[in-house]
């Protein structure tokens, strides 16, 4: 039967904010995550355990994780919170916080909220995310090493995270276009890297169209190639940046292929520091409206999401980039 359930992964607090120059107060970030958790989302990317010299905006991710474990996070659904951790240093920094609150998070996905109707606090599941690249040039810029070296580094990170009861997401960036090598990224290389990461134990592969260069035909070609290589649709999430305005059409192509997990960013916030000119992820408001118009079920409250988009873009001094968000609010 037709499966109309779609999982949205909200990446605004990480991908959306990582590129902001001015330091965003911790309280604002926590308020953002808490508000998002009350919209019906079940997955939120909340921060990043990377070098503070490289991405200073994410340097208080330990405080975010600690606050959430200390105070609990009211949510409508079981909630999984995700943090980037590209190496053992990053994983160790996350694990040091988790070790202080062993009873405040759940293994795997989060537990049911204590009182779903009132949006009670639940124990969140914790996920870490590693990030590879589909091209050598992007790998060097983003990770300071080759693709092969990055995979070697991820293996023990993934293993240790899984041993610790954490979920693991593995991104592959620039799958549909590289700022340094152009639009024609080899889909077979992507399939090979994805297979490698799944064999290492990753629970999910997130395919990043970092530059937004993806087109409908090449999205279809990529997903066909992955399926032929034996990668299951249920193990794949699509992560579209909307630089060229193609994210929703590429989402439609992915849906038709059978993908049911999509990343988006409230208010369309974002951009990657190592991808010059790239804009934000597709806006969550646009994604919810579009998916629901196709008869899909996101479980997300669009009005609440639109309010958050207007609030957070104002808070960080960005233009509000969600077409749907603005329409819903009559702005
Ligand atoms: P490196 O410089 O090669 O690493 O960085 P290193 O091991 O030589 O360490 C250098 C210094 O960084 C040392 O400190 C380490 O302790 C420190 P020093 O001795 O000089 O004082 N360090 C760390 N500190 C905190 N946390 C850590 C960490 N690791 C090392 N985890 C590394 C390698 C990957 C860490 C570095 O290049 C880095 O952090 N890069 C940032 C990459 C990043 O965050 N990019 C943006 C996110 S990815 C993205 O946006 C794409 C995505 O959205 C999908 C898509 O759109 O395609 C996910
Ligand atoms: Mg991204």
Centre a 10 Å sphere on the Cβ of residue 46 and count the other Cβ atoms it contains: 28
Question: How many angstroms does the Cα of residue 118 sit away from the middle of ligand 2?
Answer: 33
Q: Which ligand is nearest to the CA of 210?
A: 1
DSSP 3-state assignment of 178? strand
For atom 30 of ligand 1, the residue with the nearest CA is 51
Q: What would the pLDDT profile of 275-299 be if each residue is shown by its tens digit?
A: 666 688 999 999 999 999 999 999 9
Question: How many angstroms does the Cα of residue 139 sit away from the middle of ligand 1?
Answer: 12
Active site residue 272: yes
DSSP 3-state assignment of 139? helix
Structural contact between residues 32 and 57, judged by C-beta atoms closer than 8 angstroms: no
pLDDT class of 80 with cuts at 50, 70, 90: very high
Centre a 10 Å sphere on the Cβ of residue 69 and count the other Cβ atoms it contains: 21
DSSP 3-state assignment of 45? strand
Q: Which of 145, 178, 225, 272 is catalytic?
A: 272
What ipTM goes with this model?
Answer: 0.97
**Residue 297 β-bridge partners:** 5
Q: Which of 24-33, 120-129, 167-176 has the lowest mean pLDDT?
A: 120-129
Burial class (CB in 10 A: 0-12, 13-18, 19+), 41: buried
H/E stretch holding 256 reads helix 247-257
Atom of ligand 1 nearest to the CA of 93: 26
pLDDT class of 51 with cuts at 50, 70, 90: very high
pLDDT value of position 108: 74
Ramachandran angles phi, psi of 125, nearest 5°: -80, 150
Structural contact between residues 43 and 7, judged by C-beta atoms closer than 8 angstroms: yes
Q: Which ligand is nearest to the CA of 129?
A: 1
Atom of ligand 1 nearest to the CA of 86: 34
pTM for this one?
0.96
Question: How many angstroms does the Cα of residue 280 sit away from the middle of ligand 1?
Answer: 21
For atom 8 of ligand 1, the residue with the nearest CA is 144
Atom of ligand 1 nearest to the CA of 53: 12
């Amino acid at each position: 039967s037709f499966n109309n359930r779609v999982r949205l992964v909200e990446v605004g607090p990480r991908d959306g904010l990582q590129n902001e120059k001015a330091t965003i107060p911790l309280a604002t970030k926590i308020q953002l995550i808490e508000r998002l958790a009350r919209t019906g989302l079940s997955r939120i990317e909340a921060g990043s355990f990377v070098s503070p010299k490289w991405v200073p905006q994410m340097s208080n991710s330990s405080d975010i994780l600690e606050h959430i474990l200390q105070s609990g996070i009211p949510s409508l659904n079981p909630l999984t919170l995700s943090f980037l951790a590209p190496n053992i240093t990053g994983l160790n920094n996350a694990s040091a916080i988790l070790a202080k609150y062993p009873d405040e998070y759940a293994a795997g996905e989060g537990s049911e909220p204590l009182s779903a109707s009132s949006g009670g606090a639940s124990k969140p599941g914790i996920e870490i995310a590693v990030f590879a690249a589909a091209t050598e040039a992007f790998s060097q810029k983003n990770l300071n090493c080759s693709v092969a070296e990055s995979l070697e580094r991820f293996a023990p990170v993934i293993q240790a995270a899984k041993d610790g009861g954490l979920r693991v997401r593995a991104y592959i960036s620039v799958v549909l276009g590289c700022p340094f090598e152009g639009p024609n990224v080899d889909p077979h290389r992507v399939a090979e890297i994805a297979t490698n990461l799944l064999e290492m134990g990753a629970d999910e592969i997130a395919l990043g169209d970092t530059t937004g260069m993806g087109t409908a035909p090449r999205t279809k070609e990529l997903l066909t190639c992955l399926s032929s290589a034996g990668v299951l649709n249920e193990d794949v999430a699509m992560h579209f940046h909307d630089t060229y305005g193609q994210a929703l059409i590429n989402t439609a192509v992915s849906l038709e292929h059978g993908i049911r997990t999509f990343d988006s960013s409230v208010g369309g916030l974002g951009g990657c520091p190592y991808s010059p000119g790239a804009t934000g992820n597709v806006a969550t408001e646009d994604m919810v409206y579009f998916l629901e118009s196709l008869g899909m079920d996101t479980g997300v409250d669009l009005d609440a999401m639109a309010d958050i988009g207007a609030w957070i873009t104002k808070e960080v001094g960005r233009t509000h980039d969600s077409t749907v968000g603005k329409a819903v609010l009559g702005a």
